[in-house]
């Protein structure tokens, strides 16, 4: 499946990581509840893999997956912020009802990690 321009798969992020200093990322409270599971393919923008470590990316991914499991679904938009005030948006495309409907292809089910300024 071809990637959207400017997005990298998790495998590409792992391969292209450079030595970086880790930041502390905190998930901000969600503005509303939802039924998004962040269960599809995971992508991140080029800027994300350039500026944050693989460990940070994996920690954010694990955190949102655990949060979605614990709440049985969450809002499509999750916001993370580091101690420098940088913000990441983690956006899911399909909620549980959309996935269960069968109206969407597997490749339509993906989530994307990007800096808020890239939105």
Contact 38, 89 (CB under 8 A): no
Residue 16 lies in a domain: no
Q: Which of 60, 61, 112 is nearest to 81 (CA)?
A: 60
| Interatomic CA distance for residues 62 and 91, integer angstroms | 14
Assess whether pLDDT exceeds 60 at residue 18: no
> What domain count does the chain have?
1
Q: Is residue 42 part of a domain?
A: yes
Mean pLDDT of 60-82: 97
- The pLDDT score that the predictor gives to residue 15 is 52
Average pLDDT on 64-72 reads 97
Q: What average pLDDT does the segment 16-27 reach?
A: 70
Reported confidence tier of residue 17, pLDDT bands at 50, 70, 90: very low
Residue 62 lies in a domain: yes
Average pLDDT over residues 14-36: 79
Residues 6+ away with beta carbon under 8 Å from 99: 37, 39, 109
- In the structure encoding, which two tokens stand for residue 72, read together? 């049985």
Q: What pLDDT band is residue 9 in, cutting at 50, 70 and 90?
A: low
The reply to whether 7 falls in a domain is no
- Residue 98 belongs to some domain of the structure: yes
Domain that holds residue 92: 22-118
Domain for residue 48, yes or no? yes
Whether 8 is covered by a domain: the verdict is no
- Looking at residue 23, its pLDDT comes to 76
Q: Reply yes or no on whether the pLDDT at 14 is more than 70.
A: no
């Amino acid at each position: 499946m071809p990637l959207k321009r400017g997005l990298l798969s998790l495998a590409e992020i792992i391969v292209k990581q450079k030595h970086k200093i880790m930041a502390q990322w905190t998930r901000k409270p969600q503005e509303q509840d939802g039924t998004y599971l962040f269960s599809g393919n995971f992508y991140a923008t080029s800027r994300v893999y350039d500026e944050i470590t693989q460990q940070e990316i994996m920690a954010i991914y694990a955190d949102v997956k655990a949060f979605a499991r614990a709440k049985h679904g969450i809002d499509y938009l999750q916001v993370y912020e580091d101690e420098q005030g940088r913000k990441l948006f983690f956006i899911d495309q399909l909620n549980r009802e959309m996935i269960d409907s069968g109206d969407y292809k597997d490749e339509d089910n993906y989530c994307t990690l990007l800096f808020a300024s890239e939105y």
